[in-house]
Amino acid sequence: MSDRRTAILEAAATVIARRGVRGLRVEELAAEAGVSKALIYYHFEDRTDLLRRTLAFVNNRAERYTAEQAAAGQPATGAPAGPLRRLEQALLLELQDLPHVRENSTAWGELRASAVFDPELRGELALASVIWVREVADQLGEVRPTAPESALTASAERLTALLEGLSARWLSGILTLADARTRMREAIGVEVAHLDRLD
Amino acid sequence: MSDRRTAILEAAATVIARRGVRGLRVEELAAEAGVSKALIYYHFEDRTDLLRRTLAFVNNRAERYTAEQAAAGQPATGAPAGPLRRLEQALLLELQDLPHVRENSTAWGELRASAVFDPELRGELALASVIWVREVADQLGEVRPTAPESALTASAERLTALLEGLSARWLSGILTLADARTRMREAIGVEVAHLDRLD
């Protein structure tokens, strides 16, 4: 992907986080990316194309910081973290006071909110959500290998939806980051104990 | 409260759900409410006052439909529903395909999203959230009277945040209403079982 194209997508995530999808204007996007409006029209077919690719960019960036931090989070002794610790780390990465985490979560929330009245992103949003639930279900399966597949998926769907709910409360100043992280950590324990009872 | 004032608040909830807080314009609000712009300026001090009162209106309306449906949900035999059934009913009321439920949840999400960059509604949002968590904690306390207070509050905070997360997925077409309701019902069971273990 060209540097200019990436710069436009980065800028689109920033502007959407700041103004919402409805507030995204090509003038502000061009200024934020430091490119001409013409270059935006050159790289993206239309508004829908730009929004779809921004959604993909936001998702890829979340996966990238998840993978990087998971690698960085390996204990210094060289002993690999257990599956429960890895699951906790992966989910808690979304509750960190870092500019790119705040921006990614805010932009995702705005892109999702746009789908309430406008169906054009629904397919991509649903797919991204299914992939995320699948990943968390797989990680839960490593924690409790004998739990039924359907129970793992249901737990993963609850944990990821809870994470989105807690993240929205934290980002809007309703809940402190520490409380959001505590509730999330507890929820993982509660769901793992639930899987134990099903065994 | 005057009928005109209520009509303006109803219209504000509708327009905020449709356009977001940033997209709320006094022209569209006046047209939606069927009043003059001057009447809006007469009833509300400024934009912040209008937003604060719309947030209160949205919260009161949610409490009203919760109370009405809870009353309507009493079994025909006259036997009162048990505390677990009442808790389920109260939480599942937010996951119903009714215009006022969709509009209320969407408007609440937009008001909350506006607090990410603009702190003016944070106090009201946090207070509304604390009150809701308190109510759900009290209902959980009726289900499990010997559970510690702090555990009831933590469970209530998780259940209400999960409900917001599931509701956002349903409203944006990521999750079916049936799946959202199933996940919510399961989560209540999972949290009650968790409280049992703490007893």
Count residue pairs from A and B with Cβ separation < 8 A: 140
For domain B47-198, is the CATH number 3.50.50.60? no
User: Encoding tokens for residue A197?
Assistant: 């009872």
ipTM at complex level: 0.93
Between B59 and A64, the more confident residue is B59
- Asked if A175 and B129 come within 8 Å (Cβ–Cβ), the reply is yes
In tens, the pLDDT along A165-194 reads 999 999 999 999 999 999 999 999 999 999
Using an 8 Å CB-CB cutoff, list chain B residues near A122: 172-174
Please report the pLDDT score of residue B79 as a whole number.
63
Among B18, B129, B191, beta carbon nearest to A169: B129
Give the pLDDT confidence of B79-135 residue by residue, as tens digits. Answer: 667 999 999 999 999 999 999 999 999 999 999 999 999 999 999 999 999 999 999
Coil/strand/helix, residue A2: coil
Give me the residues of B, 119-158, that contact A with CB < 8 A: 119, 122, 125-126, 129, 154, 157-158
Whether B75 shows a pLDDT value over 60: the answer reads no
Residue A14 has pLDDT above 80, yes or no: yes
Residue of B158, B160, B197 for testing the chain A interface, max A β-carbons within 10 Å: B158
Cβ-based burial of B104 (10 A; exposed 0-12, middle 13-18, buried ≥19): buried
Of A22-31, A57-66, B127-136, give the lowest mean pLDDT range: A57-66
| DSSP of chain B | --HHHHHHHHHHHHHHHHH-STT--HHHHHHHHTS-HHHHHHH-SSHHHHHHHHHHHHHHHHHHHHHHHHHHTS-TTSPPPPHHHHHHHHHHTTS---HHHHHHHHHHHHHHHHTTT-GGGHHHHHHHHHHHHHHHHHHHHHHSTTS-HHHHHHHHHHHHHHHHHHHHHHHTTSS-HHHHHHHHHHHHHHHHHHHHHH-
Q: Which of A36-45, B73-82, B101-110 shows the lowest mean pLDDT across its residues?
A: B73-82
Contact B190 A190 (CB under 8 A): yes
Over the stretch A187-199, which tens digit does the pLDDT of each residue have?
A: 999 999 999 988 6
d(CA A106, CA A16): 8
User: Which of A28, A114, A162 to mutate against chain B (most B CBs within 10 Å)?
Assistant: A162
pLDDT of residue A192: 97
**Mean predicted lDDT score pLDDT of chain B:** 93
pLDDT category at B78 given cuts 50, 70, 90 is low
- Give the pLDDT confidence score for residue B34 in this predicted structure: 96
Dist. CA B51–CA B46, nearest whole Å: 9
Phi/psi class of residue B137: alpha, beta or left (left: φ > 0; alpha: ψ in -120 to 50)? Answer: alpha
Q: Give the tens place of pLDDT for each residue, B167-198.
A: 999 999 999 999 999 999 999 999 999 999 88
Interface test with chain A among B157, B194, B199, by most A beta carbons within 10 Å? B157
Whole-model pTM: value is 0.93
